Amino acid sequence: MDLNATAVLVTGAASGLGAATAAHLAARGATVYGLDLKKAIDSAEPSPDGVTLIPADVTDEESVRAAVATAAAGLQPLRMAVNCAGIAPAARILSRSGPHDLGLFDTVLKVNLLGSFNVMRLAAEEIARTEPDAHGQRGVVVNTASIAAFEGQVGQIAYAASKAGVAGMTIAAARDLAQYGIRVVTIAPGIVDTPMMAGFSDEIRASLAESVTFPHRLADPAEFARLVGVVAEHDYLNGETIRMDGALRMAPR
């Protein structure tokens, strides 16, 4: 799929993986519509050329539907959606304070899993209306899981469950959307140097980097963004979850 002269929807676009992805795709010629919460957009750095930030909650049907409609109404056809929005609070199933808060578990699944599904289904509806290329392709959806989907650590029960759900949707979604010429691919990153990591000490960051098999460093958000670009342009990638983790296999803690 050619990114040039294509409209793309990116969630979580005000920071981290989403911001890097939006900037990269815009630099490749795409017209990017970035979704994020209003408070995140208000505190974000100025958007690069080609990126328009739209306030929207991925768990809310009407705000996502409106954002998708905005992206689809532009001069370029909407052919891609990238789900980067997510949260990662930590809590154990049972701790000294009692059992895991049910509301917290529900919130994590709602943002990470239901939010990804909500954006995917509504974006797919619009992508399916575009003209197919010579091979019948209309577009692609890229979702973001995590290696926690496969090796969740202590305190990651909600996050791991939500990301395992994202990975689990991949082949089913690819099969569901094949008749419309829409591919679905998931990326499962390891430890990425996002704003979420900024609160950790240099000692902890160094320890995390050393745990990566090779290279011994944290991933850069730009590397995730480049992989999204590869997925977009590699038309035979479909129904797959790709680990981007430096061969890291997470220990229990």
Q: Which of 33, 159, 180, 236 is catalytic?
A: 159
How high is the pLDDT of residue 124?
98
Residue numbers in the chain where pLDDT is lower than 70: 199
The amino acid at residue 41 is: I
How high is the pLDDT of residue 203?
81
How high is the pLDDT of residue 145?
98
| Nearest alpha carbon to residue 58 among 31, 40, 72 | 40
The reply to whether 159 belongs to the active site is yes
pLDDT digit string, tens, across residues 194-221: 887 776 778 877 888 899 999 999 999 9
pLDDT digit string, tens, across residues 97-143: 999 999 999 999 999 999 999 999 999 999 999 999 999 999 999 99
Residue with the two structure tokens 């996002």: 194
How high is the pLDDT of residue 201?
75
Dihedral, 176, 181, 184, 185 alpha carbons, nearest 10: 140
How high is the pLDDT of residue 102?
98
How high is the pLDDT of residue 199?
65
**What class does CATH assign to 7-193+220-242?**
alpha beta
Q: Are strands 98-99 and 94-95 parallel, antiparallel or unpaired?
A: antiparallel
Residue with the two structure tokens 């008749």: 179
Q: What does the domain layout of the chain look like in residue ranges?
A: 7-193+220-242
